[in-house]
């Protein structure tokens, strides 16, 4: 993981104990879940998507859209909830998105989304929990 210190920190053993093996691979080792494999892809209720690693609110359901990619997609995150870094893996340059609170890898952001932002935050569903609105 990054050398940066985040407000929520855990040892590798603590991350392994709290996350499923798939979550651990995606969130702590920059993996990617299989497209179309997460139930949150089809979540349409009002509510908030939070980080599976620290419960920080990340995305509001009103900014979720169907991108056809197989991963949950959003226009914009909750202000201050995510940070971006340059990802040069797999022979390409992309913008990685990670939780600003615990540093967990969430996915990537691309400049091909719908208005109003034109952004598509393509997020691994296993990195998210969903809290429906009351």
Residue 121 has pLDDT above 70, yes or no: yes
Confidence of residue 2 (pLDDT cuts 50, 70, 90): low
30-37 mean pLDDT = 95
Determine whether 101 is exposed, middle or buried from the number of CB atoms within 10 Å of its CB (0-12, 13-18, 19+): buried
Number of domains in the chain: 1
Residue 4: inside a domain? no
Q: Is residue 19 part of a domain?
A: no
Q: Is residue 113 part of a domain?
A: yes
Structural domain containing residue 80:
33-130
Q: What CATH number has the domain bearing residue 91?
A: 2.170.150.20
Q: What is the mean pLDDT of the chain?
A: 94
In a domain, 18, yes or no: no
- Give pLDDT, residue 92: 85
Phi, psi of 9 (to 5 degrees): -125, 145
Please choose, from the candidates 41, 37, 29, 30, the residue with its C-alpha nearest in 3D space to the C-alpha of residue 74: 41
Mean pLDDT of 45-69: 97
Which candidate in 38, 51, 54, 122 is catalytic?
A: 122
Residue 99 annotated among the catalytic residues of the structure: no
Question: For 73-93, how does the pLDDT look when each residue is reduced to its tens digit (9 = 90+)?
Answer: 999 999 999 999 998 887 888
Q: How far apart are CA 28 and CA 92, in angstroms?
A: 20
């Amino acid at each position: 993981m990054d050398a940066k210190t985040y407000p929520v920190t855990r040892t590798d053993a603590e991350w392994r104990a709290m996350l499923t093996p798939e979550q651990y691979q995606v969130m702590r080792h920059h993996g990617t879940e299989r497209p179309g494999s997460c139930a949150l892809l089809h979540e349409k209720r009002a509510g908030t998507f939070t980080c599976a690693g620290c419960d920080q609110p990340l995305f509001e359901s009103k900014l979720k859209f169907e991108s056809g990619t197989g991963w949950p997609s959003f226009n914009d995150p909750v202000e201050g909830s995510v940070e971006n870094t340059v990802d040069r893996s797999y022979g390409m340059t992309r913008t990685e998105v990670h939780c600003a609170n615990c540093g967990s890898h969430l996915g990537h952001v691309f400049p091909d989304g719908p208005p109003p932002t034109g952004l598509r935050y393509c997020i691994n569903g296993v990195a998210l929990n969903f809290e429906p609105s009351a």
